[in-house]
């Protein structure tokens, strides 16, 4: 077992390193850097002419005049040893502050989405398999397909539109007006939960659809096996029969799929938060990418990716705990 964990940990570290490379490279891709966009902004605002010394000075000040690999190691070193993610040029603040501000909410929404997917997909999948070809089965399959086909930003738009039409106010944001800037309290938490179910449902829908189908297919495979008939013949009640063996068996691929749902969830969360204007990482990422605010953007990408990797790692551990065959392979 420990060999397995150790191996997975090494791979995880490797993955995280490659991700850091990619995150950093991605920001270096656009020609020019923050200073270039700053200069073009100033020119656009009416400055007559910017002397090249100004650009030089700015570059030195922001440390942008060094070769790329030097910048990369400095950046990485800062993050690992000092927890310093750099400086946000656009928001004029420490990048770490920005990230820490927005990240917990992203994390919370993604976590609740995973819980939502589990809570919804598991029973519906089991039910669908047991009552195969019934009206309910067709209904849920159809619903599942719709959930798969409708892009989540569209769902967000439609929900916003419906709430605007019928409740008179758009469902934007995660808090009601009175709680928006208030310090954390029980009331605020309840208010947040009140508002959170909308993005969670939107983000979770696509994942639910896929997992319902997987669960149904796996369980159907299991239910056809001889041991189920034996158990039934021996007098085990249907309920106990279902939950004690086949479901546990069918959970196997289910759990492994959960891990890989996480990247999709994070991606969905980013888009939905941009559309609904939630105070999570989505809007900031888009903004900083458009304005080449590199430290913030790459910091976010790095942190989100690491979270995803950790999440998949945890799901792999869960799978190994659930199924001894994985541990020994």
Which pair of structure tokens corresponds to residue 209? Answer: 């659809």
Q: Find all residues with CB under 8 Å of 260, minimum gap 6, and list them.
A: 312
User: Which residue of 143, 220, 255, 286 would you call a contact of other proteins, by CB under 8 A?
Assistant: 286
Q: In the bound complex, what is the minimum distance in angstroms from residue 191's beta carbon to other proteins?
A: 21
Q: Minimum distance between the CB of residue 71 and other proteins, rounded to whole angstroms?
A: 17
Interacting span for other proteins (CB under 8 A) from 54-62, 87-95, 224-232, 258-266? 258-266
* Residue 171 in tokens: 């469902």
Does 111 contact other proteins by CB under 8 A?
no
- Give the E-state strand segments of 56-154 in sequence order: 87-88, 93-94
Select the span of 89-97, 155-163, 195-203, 227-235 touching other proteins (CB under 8 A). 155-163
312 binds other proteins (CB under 8 A): yes
Do 136 and 128 meet the contact criterion of CB atoms below 8 Å apart?
Answer: yes
Query: Which residues make Cβ contacts (< 8 Å) with residue 302, sequence separation at least 6?
Result: 19, 20, 23, 79
Long-range Cβ contacts of 28-31 (<8 Å, 24+ apart): 28/68, 28/71, 28/294, 30/292
Site for other proteins contains 22 (CB under 8 A)? yes
309 binds other proteins (CB under 8 A): yes
**Closest C-alpha to 219, from 76, 296, 136, 123:** 123
Residue 228 makes contact with other proteins by CB under 8 A: no
The residue ranges that bind other proteins (CB under 8 A) are 11, 14-15, 18-19, 22-23, 26-27, 29-31, 145-146, 148-151, 153-154, 157-158, 160-161, 164-165, 170, 172, 260, 262-264, 266-268, 270-271, 274-275, 285-286, 289-290, 297, 300-301, 304-305, 308-309, 312
């Amino acid at each position: 077992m420990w060999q397995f964990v150790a191996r997975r940990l090494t791979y995880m570290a490797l993955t995280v390193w490659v991700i850091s490379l990619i995150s950093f490279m991605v920001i270096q891709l656009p020609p020019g850097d923050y200073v270039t966009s700053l200069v073009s902004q100033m020119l656009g605002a009416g400055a007559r002419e910017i002397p090249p010394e100004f650009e030089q000075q700015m570059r030195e000040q922001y440390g942008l005049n060094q070769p790329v690999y030097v910048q990369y190691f400095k950046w990485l070193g800062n993050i690992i040893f000092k927890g310093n993610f750099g400086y946000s040029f656009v928001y004029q603040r420490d990048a770490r502050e920005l990230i820490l501000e927005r990240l917990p909410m992203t994390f919370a929404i993604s976590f609740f989405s995973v819980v939502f997917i589990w809570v919804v997909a598991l029973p519906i999948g089991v039910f669908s398999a047991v009552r195969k070809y019934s009206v309910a089965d067709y209904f849920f399959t159809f619903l599942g397909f719709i959930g798969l086909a409708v892009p989540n930003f569209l769902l967000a738009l439609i929900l916003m539109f419906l709430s605007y039409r019928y409740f008179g106010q758009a469902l934007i944001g995660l808090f009601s007006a009175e709680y928006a800037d208030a310090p954390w309290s029980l009331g605020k938490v309840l208010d947040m939960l009140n508002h959170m179910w909308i993005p969670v449902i939107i983000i979770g829908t696509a994942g639910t659809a896929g997992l319902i189908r997987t669960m149904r297919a796996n369980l159907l495979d299991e239910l056809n096996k001889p041991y189920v008939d034996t158990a039934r013949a021996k007098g085990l009640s249907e309920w106990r029969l279902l939950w004690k063996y086949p479901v546990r068996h069918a959970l196997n691929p289910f759990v492994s799929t959960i891990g890989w749902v996480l990247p999709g969830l994070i991606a969905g969360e980013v888009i939905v938060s941009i559309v609904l204007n939630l105070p999570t990482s989505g809007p900031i990422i888009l903004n900083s990418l458009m304005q080449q605010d590199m430290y913030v953007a790459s910091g976010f990408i790095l942190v989100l990716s690491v979270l995803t990797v950790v999440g998949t790692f945890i799901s792999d551990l869960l799978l190994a705990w659930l199924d001894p065959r994985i541990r020994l392979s």
